[in-house]
Amino acid sequence: MNNSLQFARFFFLFIITFVRESSSSAIINPSKAKQISWKPRAFVYEGFLTDEECNHLISLAKSELKRSAVADNESGNSKTSEVRTSSGMFIPKAKDPIVSGIEEKIATWTFLPKGNQLECHSML
């Protein structure tokens, strides 16, 4: 087998192994990104989270949801209001391996360090 064929075979096996062994966070597929605005910069990534990741975030959020509040105009304190009917909660950073994997995926796709991320805000 000549050297270039050996290299091509090795390279192909390396790529297959990398894709199979890596989490989806390491694979960036620009064809799944759709720009919806440049100012502010906003993109939609089709299939960004797996069903497992979505279900995990939902299960974490369900038990912690609290009624959203508004700021009182006079005191600045939070209070409930009939105008705001949502419930929400924040999932702590690196709460578990799945949340950490999602944070890593965000860092990979945005080219920004995990340290720049905020906690995941879940709302219902």
Domain ranges of the chain: 50-123
User: Which of residues 2 and 97 earns the better pLDDT score?
Assistant: 97
Residue-wise pLDDT for 13-39, tens only, equals 333 333 333 444 456 677 888 999 989
Residue-wise pLDDT for 61-120, tens only, equals 998 999 998 998 999 999 998 888 899 999 999 999 999 999 999 998 888 899 999 998
**Which amino acid type is present at position 23?**
S
Question: What own/partner pairs with CB < 8 Å and gap ≥ 24 does 43-47 have?
Answer: 45/109
Sign of the C-alpha dihedral computed for residues 3, 26, 34 and 116 taken in this order: negative
The reported pLDDT for the residue numbered 53 is 94
Look up residue 2 and give its two tokens: 């000549």
Residue-wise pLDDT for 45-78, tens only, equals 888 899 999 999 999 999 899 999 899 899 999 9
